[in-house]
Amino acid sequence: MIGIGNLYRSDDAVGILIARKLKDIKSDQVNVQEQSGEGTSLMDAWKDYETVWIVDAVSSGEPPGSIHRLDASKQPIPTKFFSCSTHNFGVAEAIELARTLNQLPEQLKLYGIEGKNFQPGEVLSPEVEQAMESVSNEISKHFSSSS
């Protein structure tokens, strides 16, 4: 599981905060990582895994706190989701390049949590905090059932 974000850009921290919550899982099958969202580092992080879950904040115009569940191993990822990224080669670009190079994990699940505030700060919007709890619980249940 890879949590992506920036702890100092308000709602953009949600992926990293979920990763930190899930690090307590006691399983040899689960590796939890934190990433900034830079594409080449992301591709390197998943290269040895068959199943990868990515969690990141997104900005697609949906209401704040909306949860997008995408199967990146089966469908292209809209680049508009990651318009809040500070990287020119970010999550969507890394996924699509890996798809072209046949370097995607067998299963690549993506949770995008719609952010509200991406300005400097260290506090999540209430809607994003609620979505964080929901996604953390959902992923945790999946890991528990696959152990």
User: Tokens at residue 26, please?
Assistant: 């006691």
pLDDT in tens, 82-116: 655 554 678 888 898 999 999 999 999 999 999 99
Query: In 3-28, which positions are buried (b, 16+ CB within 10 angstroms) versus exposed (e)?
Result: bbbbeebbbbbbbbbbbebbeebeee
| This prediction's pTM | 0.88
**Domain CATH number, residue 141:** 3.40.50.1450
Its domain, for residue 120, covers 2-146
Q: How many domains does the chain have?
A: 1
pLDDT in tens, 109-142: 999 999 999 999 999 999 999 999 999 999 988 8
> Which residues lie below 8 Å from residue 32, measured CB to CB, with a gap of 6+?
1, 2, 3, 19, 22, 23, 25
